[in-house]
Amino acid sequence: MKRIMMFLTMVVLLAGCKPGAPKCPAGETAGGEQPLGPATEPVTAPVVTPVKEEAKMARLDAAVVEGVIAALVKKHGEAERPRIARGVGQAAALWDPARDGDPKAFDAFCLARYVPEGAALDQLFERLQTNFETLFGHGSRVRLDLSRPVHLDMGEVLDVDKVFAEFNPSAHLQEDLYANRIAFITILNFPGRTLAEKKADGAKWSRREWARVRLGDVFTSRVPAAVRQAIDTAFAQADDYISNYNIYMEKVVGADGKSLFPAGMKLITHWNLRDELKSRYADKTNGLAAQRLIFAVMGRIIDQSIPQAVVNKGDFTWNPVTNQLTKDGQEQPVTAEPDTRYEFLLKNFQAVRAEDAFAPAFPTYVRRVFDRDLEYTEAEIEALFVKLVSSPLAAQVGKLIEVRLGRKLEPFDIWYDGFKTRSSIPDATLTAATRKRYPTTAAFHADLPRLLGLLGFSKEKAKFLQERIAVDASRGAGHAWGAEMRSDKSHLRTRVGKDGMDYKGYNIAIHELGHNVEQTLTIQDVDFYMMKGVPNTAFTEAWAFAFQRRDLQLLGQQEGNPLKAHLTVLDSFWSSYEIMGVSLVDMGVWRWLYANPNADKAQLKQAVLTIAKDVWNRYFAPVFGVRDQTILAIYSHMIDYPLYLPAYPIGRVAELQIEGFLRGKNLGAEMTRICAQGRLEPDLWMRGAVGAALSVDPSLAATAEALKHVTK
């Protein structure tokens, strides 16, 4: 599931880098399709007048910068010129004469604070990374503790709890570090490198050089505390909205007025709704009818025709197909949710857009997500996704699914779960097993050494990991929160009911355990603190997926199907096909937002519906035989974790490559080795992990081979 992103003010220390990166030309892509976006065919949507450009900080004159560079080169020698020029230039871009001093002050600062290569620079590096671990680690811990009442199932949530969850005590940290010039000392002596430089030169850098580069990634913007706090507040409010968006399924009925769902079932959107839909493939009696009802619920959420009275309430009986409400046999008036979903998305956009003026190296949120955080360009990721979703293999796998279902595909079959062995095991059977084994979070935590041992970790390593992972009962669907200092623990959150952990909660817990193990290994086993984590969010998702696909094995359920390996490949392909489509919608929406920054929530809703239909019609309608579907816009991440979705399919692509490499090897030992690389540039990390850069080609080749063996 989702992984909590700790944006500690100015930092891009993404635990994995999670949050968790190159360039493809616009134009023709695989299959002759055009990439979605303004570079080719624009998405049709309402156009509104853009707002005026935000005011920017005052800048030092170029002549001042050149004069400082010349003075430093004269003082320290020509060999220092490249680092001097880079450091002075980047410091000048963030120096505000009104707050930091006039050009003479800048000149004096640089001459006094620049440290040439040598032992003194090494000492400065060590001191900075040690102190940043203290700052970032304790800042993360404070945010974690203040959010506990909102994130955890620990009783009533008070209004003040929400206020504390929105509060970021580190909001002024960036301003303080610029004001006392620690930020400028860092920038001047350890300037950042561009993505192009990392990709071109990274393989030649030593571990220490890479750690210095990551230190240079810390200060790439100078965001005022008010802007930073507004972003934290917007994200926290959106997360609270999503975390409490539950549907009381026993009140959801079909045309006959009867419910197909058990009493007491309350499903959060979209995660539990989707997982309940997936679980119904094993129900040969009412499964299809239940899936159609869930699909109708999702459609109402997306277009906001859902009655406000059924959101997190169970007072009325609701037929989502006709959108009728009844109580005591009497039809009730319907008041639709007032585009609240899109109001939160719009607030997130407005909040992060306010940062643009203060991030000269990454002047849009889209650039910050892709170039800075993922370290892949948006064009590269789009080309990667389009190559898979436009592959003729999608139609072939779709035909196979139709044979296995004995019916035509319906739009919700993007979540077809029949390639998994567990799809033939009733959810009730699995839930009985998980509730017996895990009545509490403490029971799950106590079982971690056994689970990790089954995954190939030694007894000593399993115990080491258990001691550094805490397990909490989540109020929402679940997430993993990684430690930002070596003396702290990572936190695994999943839902645990009064009767124990159901299968959905267990499945999420195993996924989050993958995150937690990665988070722990990549802070405890990596040689430099500044190298902690993995390249980006996608790679922690890859490990989470690797754990999650072994959930039945860890539960002791038998999977004796001789075609299991091929079925797993087909499942991975179909899952990638779905989530890449979802991600293309998310990416298209953010392009639209930047093209239409003054849009209101109604216009944004219409744009999302249009973009979702466009992506569907391009890549899914030819396979499903039905057009103009909006289902790809259901994911809650669009609302509370802006532009997080692309990390999932990148993670799936990486996972398939990692799984291929792990075949016949010990997962625990290899994961320990691979994670010790830390936060290298993504493709460099992949080459060190499995010997090849990120690519969908292995997935396409494995899928083509699997189709030769799985014919029904």
What is the Cα–Cα distance from 667 to 676, expressed in whole angstroms?
A: 14
Tokens of 450: 């056994």
What is the Cα–Cα distance from 405 to 412, expressed in whole angstroms?
A: 13
Average pLDDT over residues 427-446: 94
pLDDT surpasses 90 at 118: yes
- Tally of residues, the chain: 712
150 and 108 in contact (C-beta within 8 Å)?
no
pLDDT score of 564: 83
- Provide the pairing of β-strand 490-494 with 469-473: parallel
pLDDT score of 225: 82
Segment among 12-21, 137-146, 635-644 with least mean pLDDT: 12-21
Q: CB under 8 Å to 410, separation ≥6 — which residues?
A: 291, 292, 295, 624, 626
Burial of residue 367, with CB atoms counted within 10 A of its CB: 0-12 exposed, 13-18 middle, 19 or more buried: middle
Q: What is the dihedral of CA 648, 649, 652, 657, to 10 degrees?
A: -130
Average pLDDT over residues 361-377: 95
Name the residue among 241, 161, 164, 153 with its Cα closest to residue 493: 153
What is the Cα–Cα distance from 217 to 201, expressed in whole angstroms?
A: 16
pLDDT score of 538: 84
pLDDT surpasses 50 at 663: yes
> Which residue has 């063996």 as its token pair?
709
SS3 452: helix
Name the residue among 199, 211, 187, 221 with its Cα closest to residue 86: 187
- Provide the pairing of β-strand 478-481 with 469-473: unpaired
What is the Cα–Cα distance from 69 to 111, expressed in whole angstroms?
A: 9
Band (pLDDT 50/70/90 cuts) for residue 24 is very low
> Which residue has 């984590």 as its token pair?
533
374 and 537 in contact (C-beta within 8 Å)?
yes
Q: CB under 8 Å to 574, separation ≥6 — which residues?
A: 397, 401, 414, 416, 419
- Let me know the angle formed at the C-alpha of 606 by 602 and 608, rounded to the nearest 5 degrees: 115
**Domains defined for the chain, CATH in brackets:** 62-162+186-206 (no CATH), 428-555 (3.40.390)
pLDDT score of 56: 55
What is the Cα–Cα distance from 678 to 202, expressed in whole angstroms?
A: 13
What is the Cα–Cα distance from 498 to 482, expressed in whole angstroms?
A: 27
What is the Cα–Cα distance from 311 to 164, expressed in whole angstroms?
A: 25
In this structure, what are the phi and psi dihedrals at residue 327, rounded to the nearest 5 degrees? -150, 125
pLDDT surpasses 80 at 499: yes
pLDDT surpasses 80 at 142: yes
Per-residue pLDDT tens digits for 32-74: 222 233 233 333 333 333 333 344 567 899 999 999 999 999 9
pLDDT surpasses 90 at 603: yes
Tokens of 82: 């490249």
Band (pLDDT 50/70/90 cuts) for residue 124 is very high
pLDDT score of 559: 63
In this structure, what are the phi and psi dihedrals at residue 220, rounded to the nearest 5 degrees? -115, -5
Residue 138: asked if its preceding bond is cis (omega within 30°), the reply is no
C-alpha distances out from residue 417 to 294, 398, 567, Å: 15, 12, 11
Per-residue pLDDT tens digits for 454-497: 999 999 999 999 999 999 999 887 899 999 999 999 999 998 98
Q: How many helices (H) and strands (E) does the chain have?
A: 32, 8
Name the residue among 535, 534, 464, 532 with its Cα closest to residue 133: 532
Per-residue pLDDT tens digits for 439-459: 999 999 999 999 999 999 999
What letter does residue 679 receive in the DSSP assignment? Answer: S
Band (pLDDT 50/70/90 cuts) for residue 560 is low
pLDDT surpasses 60 at 610: yes
What is the Cα–Cα distance from 518 to 654, expressed in whole angstroms?
A: 14
Per-residue pLDDT tens digits for 405-420: 999 999 999 999 999 7
What is the Cα–Cα distance from 384 to 697, expressed in whole angstroms?
A: 10
pLDDT score of 48: 36
Tokens of 684: 């460099």
Average pLDDT over residues 21-34: 27
pTM of the model: 0.81
Which helix (H) or strand (E) segment holds residue 554: the answer is helix 551-555
505 and 431 in contact (C-beta within 8 Å)?
no
Average pLDDT over residues 502-522: 95
pLDDT surpasses 80 at 379: yes
pLDDT score of 651: 86
pLDDT score of 376: 95
At position 315, the amino acid (one-letter code) is: D
- Residues 141-144: contacts with CB under 8 Å, at least 24 apart: 141/484, 141/485, 141/488, 142/169, 142/170, 143/6, 143/168, 143/169, 143/170, 144/481, 144/491
pLDDT surpasses 70 at 145: yes
pLDDT score of 249: 97
Q: How many CB atoms lie within 10 A of CB 115?
A: 17
What is the Cα–Cα distance from 99 to 107, expressed in whole angstroms?
A: 15
Per-residue pLDDT tens digits for 243-287: 999 999 999 999 999 999 999 999 999 999 999 999 999 899 999
Higher local confidence (pLDDT), 88 or 420: 88
**What ranges in 556-696 are assigned the alpha helix state H?**
564-595, 601-619, 621-624, 637-640, 647-662, 667-675, 682-690
pLDDT surpasses 90 at 355: yes
pLDDT score of 422: 59
pLDDT score of 424: 64
Average pLDDT over residues 673-696: 96
474: left (phi over 0), alpha (psi -120 to 50) or beta: beta
Per-residue pLDDT tens digits for 220-245: 999 888 898 899 999 999 999 999 99
pLDDT score of 25: 24
Average pLDDT over residues 672-686: 97
Residues above pLDDT 90, as percent of the chain = 80
